[in-house]
Copies of this chain bind each other. A is one copy, B any other.
């Protein structure tokens, strides 16, 4: 431990991540991705901000290129999809290629699969799910056993939301989070075109707070959600207060969303 470790600890940094969604079925519109929303919310709870997401097809070179771009750029990269037993599950081979590592059978993963299936159901296709880049550290799969894994800053998970979420619950404690971003969401029955100017002035006063405006139509009435996000609770509270005062100035009543 270096001597300045405690000081570092008190000043939490921003930890960033990207999500790489692998699968033709998401691009063709057959499957609605649900993993970005889950990870966006749940990673923030532990102090990790998703800054980019990409969806790529089941093509090795596309996966390699996207992964290598993202893993240089963000603290973590999460991947979902393509780690099953069929011919179109090419994620592990692509990740091995991206890292320049061998794809090898992971003994512990193989043992998990052999323990899970009846001996006559241990097919070569199923054992393929234990082929991983050399040095992979397993991530438990509480649903269907075939594990995910981590290689350096890349975390490889299943695409099926229920399995991905099960994996996430098991390894979230291993992730090194930084600051968490709090948010306040204020709903008003004002069109955003009317709130835009004073809201822009508030954004200028709070350059360190991210202020977003999201219009909606509910029961035929136009409204706007004004969302402030910041890692500094005091600044967040002050910005939310300024937004609420601005809304009252416009003659409306701000409603805080849960």
Contact = CB atoms under 8 A, between A and B. Distances in A.
Contacts of A42: 29
A41 interface: yes
A196 B126 contact: yes
A52 B27 contact: yes
A197 B121 CA distance: 12
- Chain A's interface: helix, strand, loop or mixed, by majority? mixed
Interface core residue of A37, A39, A86 (most chain B CB under 10 Å)? A86
A40 interface: yes
A32 B29 contact: no
Given A52-B62, A121-B193, A227-B30, A213 B37 contact: no
Contacts of A44: 28-29
Interface stretch (A53-61, A91-99, A167-175, A233-241): A53-61
8 contacts: A27-B51, A29-B42, A30-B227, A31-B37, A85-B192, A86-B200, A121-B194, A160-B216
Query: Considering the complex of A and B, which 9 residue pairs feature the smallest CB-CB distances, nearest first?
Result: A29-B40, A125-B196, A29-B41, A86-B213, A87-B200, A53-B55, A126-B193, A85-B193, A85-B196
